Structure 1
Amino acid sequence: MPEGHSVHRIARQFDRNFVGRSVRASSPQGRFAEGAAVIDGREAVEVRAVGKQMFLAFDGDLWLRIHLGMYGAWDFAGEILVDPTIASANGRMGQTNQRGTDIDRVMDAAGENSLTSIGAPRRTRVHVRMSEQTTGLADDADEWPPPVVGQVRLRLLAEQTCADLRGPTACQLQSPHEVAATIAKLGPDPLVDDLAEGEERFTAVVRRKPTPIGLLLMDQAVVSGIGNVYRAELLFRARLDPHTPGRDVPEEVVRELWRDWTRLLAIGVETGQMMTMDGLSAGDYRKAMAHRDDRHWVYHRAGLPCRVCGTQIVLEEMGARKLYWCPSCQR
């Protein structure tokens, strides 16, 4: 399941390459043919990301809601204005340069480290899965428009950029009222909501729930964007037993969870990686950016010694998802 930083990064990609442009829409697979016909030829006017969902607005007060879920993915092709925090030099989008060699960044006129500063737009084809599972450049990068490959639910085509959507949990058209209703059901997102108001909402909900905090952090109605990786890491960083009922977590600890999520989400959007370890040397930082197992405290470390106390990291199932935690530090 994608986590919030990825969705915000892909929304940024759409903002650069589709917003303000007339978009041709089709459904090669046929499952979204009617919806594609409605938005075909309209101008994309706005994009929003809230938690794990993205909303793309078209002229005429029409919105496209996308929730990738477990198996959804985007393919981008064409001359793409890219931010290397979104697509690295090896063609991977949704994650940072896996070679992990560069910390310094070149900022562009928009205040971001876009590849426009080193010669973009460039013609390319990249696969974007909203997790850390991605593929690289395709062999058909010079064909335009690119051939349809596999089961494409929706193809969005601007003059020079193509985006193919596969396997989403949700792909539907909504009115402004329906978008507002969808967002109203979601918990606060630090990149969308006022931080102080979001903290109050999150704290109030958690503090009245008997539900284990390990489940509450994954509930998108409580807080938006947290998935399996961030859950495990936030709980460890707070030294919090995941089984503790929300109402029993001290208020200041709940507030610090929100503030820590705010920090980690910002790092994730900037770097493309779910970096959750602090105070690394430059060498260790490069190593961590190159290898997932070097940038987390407990996630994916079942049976290995805790980085703090040496106790074996436990793996269990909570909320039908894998939970990693240290029974010594988190008690």
Structure 2
Amino acid sequence: MPEGHSIHRLALAFRELFGGQRLAVSSPQGRFADGAALLDGQVLRATEAHGKQLFLGLAPGDDAGALPERWLRIHLGLYGSWTFAGDATFTGDHAIGAPRRRVGEEERALEGGDGKEAGQEPAAWEPPAPRGAVRARILGEHGVADLTGPTACEVITGEEKSAVHERLGPDPLREDGDGEAFVAAVRARRRTVGELLMDQSILAGVGNIYRAEALFRARVHPRRLGKNVPAARLREIWDDLVVLMRDGVETGRIVTVRAEHQGRQPDTEAQRWYVYHRSRQPCLVCGASVSEAEMQARRVFWCPRCQRAPRQ
């Protein structure tokens, strides 16, 4: 499942590639036909991300200041993805390097283009035929975005969108992200901090990689109860996530290993992550073997020496 930085990258990509354009919206698969009909022919006026939720706001008129009347809400879940294609002008100058194919944990630059020669007008571009079970297709002036396999794909009102935000916890990547609300929510609960960091009502946007890495960098064991983690340590985790996830938005990659610890082991993942997906490999800081267990049907990783287990 893509983590929160990827969804923010998607919001930026849609704004850059389709913002202000009248869009053709369809559902080649047919499962989103009614929703597509409500949005077809409208103009993209806003894009927004909160945690793992993507919102595309559309309005019917050409008034650039018009507020969206309907929102397309997307949650990619475990299997969802967006695929982009377009002509030679379907590129972006943003630092995230949009557009991308398969925007997720690993992203690839957009393929294709029309082979335009210097000084020539681009040839007429035709969108490719949908590949696979495309739930929603968004077609703009110079490119297309296809959505496959999402957990959620629905048209909602502004009030319904507000209700979704109310259910979500603070997002480290949003301007309204409230670190103190995160600290208070964790310390008010007797659940483990490893569970709480993955609870989207407590902290929006963090997935398995950021959870494992943020806890390691803060030297907090994932099985420690939230109420027993000092507020100062939780603020450290929040501040660290703000930096790490912003870097993820800029680069499209999750890299959490500090410069002084890179290169200590030959495996590729050791250049990027301290403990995630590195069970039984040596810790990059102390050399102990990285541990792995299951927590709420997800794998959790930690160093038993750097992250001391809580007392029973």
Q: TM-score range by the shorter chain?
A: 0.7 to 0.9
Question: Which region of structure 1 is more displaced relative to structure 2, 79-88 or 64-73?
Answer: 79-88
Write out the 4+ residue segments of structure 1 that deviate beyond 4 Å after TM superposition. Answer: 133-136, 138-143
The gaps in structure 1 that reach 5 residues or longer are: 94-126
RMSD value, Cα? 2.5
Find the residue that maps to 2:211 and give its secondary structure: helix
Deviation string 1:272-291 (CA, Å, 9 cap, x unpaired) is 1111122359x96xx99x94
- Distance in 2 between the 1:297 and 1:262 partners? 18
Question: Which region of structure 1 is more displaced relative to structure 2, 134-143 or 198-207?
Answer: 134-143
Using the size of structure 1 for normalisation, the TM-score is: 0.81
1:312 maps to 289
Shift of 1:202: 0.3
- Distance in 2 between the 1:166 and 1:302 partners? 32
Within a 5 Å distance, the mapping from 1:166-177 to structure 2 comes to: 166-177=148-159
Within a 5 Å distance, the mapping from 1:82-97 to structure 2 comes to: 82-83=92-93, 85-87=95-97, 93=100
Find the residue that maps to 2:198 and give its secondary structure: coil
Deviation string 1:49-108 (CA, Å, 9 cap, x unpaired) is 1111110000051000000010001111113223475448xx8x3xxxxxxxxxxxxxxx
Q: 1:3 to 1:73 in 2, by over 3 A?
A: same
Find the residue that maps to 2:102 and give its secondary structure: strand
Deviation string 1:138-176 (CA, Å, 9 cap, x unpaired) is 699986121111110000001111000000000000000
Within a 5 Å distance, the mapping from 1:76-155 to structure 2 comes to: 76-79=84-87, 80-83=90-93, 85-87=95-97, 93=100, 127-132=101-106, 137=111, 144-155=126-137
Number of corresponding residues: 289
Name the aligned partner's letter for residue 181 of structure 1: A
Find the residue that maps to 1:187 and give its secondary structure: coil
Q: Does 1:69 align with 2:77?
A: yes
Q: 1:52 to 1:229 in 2, by over 3 A?
A: same
Within a 5 Å distance, the mapping from 1:236-247 to structure 2 comes to: 236-247=216-227
2:196 maps to 216
Give aligned-pair identity as a percent: 45
- Distance in 1 between the 2:17 and 2:108 partners? 20
Find the residue that maps to 1:183 and give its secondary structure: helix
Find the residue that maps to 2:15 and give its secondary structure: helix
- Distance in 1 between the 2:148 and 2:141 partners? 21
Find the residue that maps to 1:153 and give its secondary structure: strand
Shift of 1:39: 0.4
Shift of 1:294: 1.1
Q: 1:20 to 1:193 in 2, by over 3 A?
A: same
Q: 1:264 to 1:249 in 2, by over 3 A?
A: same
Checking the alignment, whether the CA contact within 8 Å between 2:137 and 2:145 is kept in structure 1 is yes
Using the size of structure 2 for normalisation, the TM-score is: 0.86
Checking the alignment, whether the CA contact within 8 Å between 2:282 and 2:289 is kept in structure 1 is yes
Which structure would you say has the larger Rg?
2
Deviation string 1:105-161 (CA, Å, 9 cap, x unpaired) is xxxxxxxxxxxxxxxxxxxxxx31423276973699986121111110000001111
- Distance in 1 between the 2:130 and 2:304 partners? 49
